[in-house]
């Protein structure tokens, strides 16, 4: 059953064609990876799907519903969560507040001007739970900007998870991480894949081949190939453009 579908998505930035008739299909429960060289259009694809900017032409469908052109905050409420290639947190706020912002976004808390945010029981508890999960519980009152790079990545993941998305879009979640941290993150992603659909952008080929159900290869904005890890590895075009011809 298809959870996310794009139909002939094209995105032009002036004269630059970043996406060229990209059609992908992400089935429910799948771990679907997008790979391709730098500039292939992977992050642009994410941006269009999550509503950061609209496509020049084409459609995005989520659960059968046309979501093309919706604003990011609307798409978030449909159950799509997304992380960014460059760590995207709230540096001057505490670690707890970072996650709580995400947990309190569901529910009608936000226009409450009177309550103390620390009195919001459910969002605060959920935030602590998530911090526990990623191992940042002890640093809850630290300012997020004071965390190490690896810790900030974990915080980023915690924030993305906090909105409990059905479709989790991860943009290079292991970028900048050490081998040990990478392994840990991949484990976490594998766990998450058990009850969620994941769309993953990754550069580490061994990670992608190991963890994905389906891989789509983008090259210069076009879909070069799509298939299982084995099929992709054998694909001559992909080898030429991306993996390097043997």
Partner 1 sequence: MSFKTREILKENVLLVAFIIYLIILPFAVPYPALATEILIYGMLALTFILLLGYVGLLDFGTAAFFAIGAYSMGLLLKFFHIYILLGMFISVLITTIFALAIGFLCLRRGGIYFALLTLAFNEMIFFIIYEWRDLTGGDSGLHHGIRPDLAPFLSLQPEINFYFFTLIFFVAVFYLLLRLIHSPFGSVLQAIRENELRTTVLGYNVDRFKLTAFVLAGAIRGLAGSLFAMYQKFVGIEIASWVTSGNVIIMSLMGGVGSLFGGIVGATIFIIASDILSAMWERWLLIIGIVFVAVVLFIPGGVWAGLEILYNKLRLKSFVEKISS
d(CA 123, CA 101): 8
For position 72 contacting partner 1 by CB under 8 A, the verdict is yes
Instruction: Give Cα 74 distance to the centre of its chain.
Output: 16
For position 73 contacting partner 1 by CB under 8 A, the verdict is yes
For position 43 contacting partner 1 by CB under 8 A, the verdict is no
Q: Is beta strand 2-13 parallel, antiparallel or unpaired with respect to 25-27? A: antiparallel
Q: Which of 27, 57, 59, 93 binds partner 1 (CB under 8 A)?
A: 93
Helices 95-103 and 149-162: crossing angle, nearest 10°? Answer: 20
Compute and round to an integer the Cα radius of gyration of the chain: 19
Query: Are the CB atoms for 157 and 188 separated by under 8 Å?
Result: yes
For position 97 contacting partner 1 by CB under 8 A, the verdict is yes
Under rule CB under 8 A, which residues in 130-159 are in contact with partner 1?
Answer: 159
Under rule CB under 8 A, which residues in 169-228 are in contact with partner 1?
Answer: none
Q: Which of 11, 42, 82, 153 binds partner 1 (CB under 8 A)?
A: 82
Helices 95-103 and 121-134: crossing angle, nearest 10°? Answer: 120
CB-wise, 70 or 211, nearer to partner 1? 70
Residue 81 CB, nearest distance to partner 1 (Å)? 8
Residues that bind partner 1 (CB under 8 A): 50, 52, 71-73, 76-77, 82, 84, 88-93, 97, 100-102, 104-106, 109-118, 120, 159, 163
């Amino acid at each position: 059953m298809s959870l996310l579908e794009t139909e002939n998505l094209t995105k032009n930035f002036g004269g630059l064609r970043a996406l060229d008739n990209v059609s992908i299909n992400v089935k429910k429960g799948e771990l679907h990876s997008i790979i391709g060289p730098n500039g292939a259009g992977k992050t642009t694809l994410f941006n269009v799907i999550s509503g950061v900017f609209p496509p020049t032409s084409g459609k995005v469908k989520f659960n059968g519903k046309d979501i093309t052109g919706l604003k990011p905050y609307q798409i978030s409420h449909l159950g799509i969560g997304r992380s960014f290639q460059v760590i995207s947190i709230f540096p001057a706020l505490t670690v707890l507040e970072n996650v709580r912002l995400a947990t309190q976004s569901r529910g009608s808390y936000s226009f409450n001007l009177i309550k103390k945010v620390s009195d919001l029981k459910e969002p605060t508890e959920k935030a602590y739970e998530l911090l526990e999960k990623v191992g940042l519980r002890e640093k809850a009152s630290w300012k997020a900007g004071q965390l190490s790079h690896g810790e900030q990545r974990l915080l980023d993941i915690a924030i993305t998870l906090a909105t409990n998305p059905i479709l989790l879009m991860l943009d290079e979640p292991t970028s900048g991480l050490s081998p040990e941290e990478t392994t840990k993150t991949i484990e976490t992603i594998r766990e998450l894949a058990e009850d969620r659909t994941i769309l993953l952008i990754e550069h580490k080929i061994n990670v992608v081949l190991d963890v994905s159900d389906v891989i789509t290869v983008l090259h210069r904005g076009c879909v070069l190939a799509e298939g299982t890890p084995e099929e992709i590895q054998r694909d001559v075009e992909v080898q030429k453009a991306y993996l390097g011809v043997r």
